Amino acid sequence: MKKHTSMIDRRTLLKGTALGIGALAAPAIISRKALASSGELNFTGWAGYPQFTEKAFPAFEAATGIKVNFKELPDQDTMFAEGKVALEAGGIDLIEPTIDRVGAWNDNGLLGAFDESKLAMANYLPGLADGAAGERSRKDGALLYVPSVWGTESLVVSEADAVLSDPPSLGDLFNAENQAVVRPHSALAAMGRWLDAQGKLPRPWMDGYTDMAAMVELWDIALAEAIKAKGNVVQWWSGENEANAGFTANGATIGLCWDSTGFNLRNDGYKYIAPVEGAIAWHQGFVLMKNAQNVDQAHEFVKWISGPEGAAIWATAFSANPVGKGAADLMDPEVSAYYNGTFNDEALSKLWWWPDQSAEFLAKRAEYADKYKAA
C-alpha cells in the first residue's frame, strides 16, 4: 500500500474521527471453535498505524474474546521475506498485502485457502470481493485473499466549467474544451481504456499487462493519441500538492486524481465523479498463511473487518476507504456523504483495479510517461 504521509486529505481527516470502541454494538456471536485452541491470532501487517493497537485490536477482542498478537513491518517486500521464514518456522496466521502480490505469494507456496462458510462474503460492498477483484482473489476455485481497505483515482471536475459527456467519461480528459491536470502514466492508461471502450484498439487493453509485445503495441497507440490531445494539459502531478495546484493555481476544469483531491476541493466548486468506464482503484486485503495455527481465529478477524464496525475502524486506521456495507456511515458525516456521493453500487461494480505489473512492465511504462511529458 502506498502511504502519502505529506498529504492533508480525506484519509488524514478520517484519522481524526471519533469512531472508537464505544461505538460498537454488543459483542458478536462467534464460533466456539474460534476460541477452542489459543483464543489468539498472530497477525503481521503494516507499521506506522497506531490505531491498530489503540482501537482496532481492542475492539475486536471486546467483540470476540480473541487477542491479536501484532507484528508490524514497513513494506510488502519485508512481509514477503518474513512470510517465507514463517513457512518453515510458523508464527504467522494472517498478513495484509495488496491484491497484485497474491499471485507471487501463492506461487511461492505461502498461502492457504479461506473457508467461505466461516466468512460473511455478503458484507462486502459490490466490486470489492466479487467481479474482477473476486477473480483475482481466487486460484483454481480456492479463495486466497479477502479485501480490507481500498482507494481510488477518478475524475475531479469543475461543476461550473467542465465539459462532460453524458455519462461522464475518461475521454473528457482529452477534450480540447477542458483544461486537464493528470499524472502521466495514469493518463496513458485512461486513454487506453477509453480507446478500448470505443472499440478503437486492435486487442483488449488488458492484454498489455500480461504480454510485453502487446503492451508496446497498445501503449504506442495510447501515447500517440494522448500527445495529440496534450495541448489541454495545464498541470502534471505526482503528489497531492501538485494535483491541487492544477485546479487552484492553473485553472484546470478536469483532472484524473486521487479521491483526496476531490475531497480537498469539495467546497470550491469541484466534484469527484466516477467515469462510465470505471474509476481506477487500488486494493488491499488479508491472506491466510499455509501453515497458520489459529485458523478459526483468523476467519473471525477477517469476518469482523468485513462488518460495518470493523470495516470503519480498519479504514479509519489506514485513512482509507472501508470495504463493508454501512461502514462509511459510521465515519465522519461529511466524509460519508462525499464517499456515498461518488460510489453508488453501480460505480463500485465498475471499479478498475490496477492489474499486476511486472518490473519489466513498470520500467517500460515509465518510458512512455517520460515521452508523453516531453512531447
Distance separating alpha carbons of residues 72 and 77, to the nearest angstrom: 13
Output the pLDDT for position 319. Answer: 67
Cell numbers found for residue 260: 483526496
Q: Smallest Cα–Cα separation from 102: which of 114, 91, 89?
A: 114
Q: Give yes or no for a contact between 275 and 343, defined as CB atoms under 8 angstroms apart.
A: no
- The secondary structure element, H or E, covering residue 298 is helix 295-306
**Residues 239, 169 contacting (CB under 8 angstroms):** no
Which residues does 349 contact at the CB level (< 8 Å), separation at least 6? 126, 127, 131
pLDDT computed for residue 69 by the predictor: 97
322 neighbors 314 (Cβ within 8 angstroms) = yes
Task: Pull the grid cell for residue 278.
Answer: 470505471
**Is pTM, for the whole model, over 0.75?**
no
Which residues, in sequence order, are bridge partners of residue 328? none
Per-residue pLDDT of the chain (375 residues; tens, 9 = 90+): 433 332 223 333 333 333 333 333 333 444 454 444 459 999 999 888 888 999 999 999 999 999 999 999 987 788 989 999 999 999 999 999 989 888 888 988 999 999 999 999 999 999 899 988 899 999 999 999 999 998 889 999 999 999 999 999 999 999 999 999 999 999 999 999 999 999 999 999 999 999 999 999 999 999 999 999 999 999 999 877 889 999 999 999 999 998 778 888 989 999 999 999 999 988 899 999 999 999 999 999 999 999 999 999 998 887 678 999 999 889 877 777 776 788 888 888 898 988 887 768 878 999 999 999 999
CB 258 within 8 A of CB 265: no
The Cα angle at residue 264 between residues 259 and 269, in degrees rounded to 5? 100
214-218: Cβ within 8 A, 24+ apart: 215/361, 215/364, 216/364, 218/192
Instruction: Classify 10-151+281-349 by CATH class.
Output: alpha beta
Number of H helices, E strands in the chain: 15, 14
Q: Give the type of residue at 280.
A: I
Q: What is the DSSP string of 218-238?
A: HHHHHHHHHHHTGGGEEEE-S
* Whole-number Å distance between alpha carbons of 280 and 346: 14
Q: Where are the domains of the chain?
A: 10-151+281-349, 153-280+356-374
Distance CA 125, CA 342 (A): 14
Q: Residue 158: exposed, middle, or buried by beta-carbon count in 10 A (0-12, 13-18, 19+)?
A: buried
For the chain, give the longest Cα–Cα distance.
65
164 has which bridge partners? none
Domains 10-151+281-349 and 153-280+356-374 share a fold: yes
Superfamily (CATH) of domain 153-280+356-374: Periplasmic binding protein-like II (3.40.190.10)
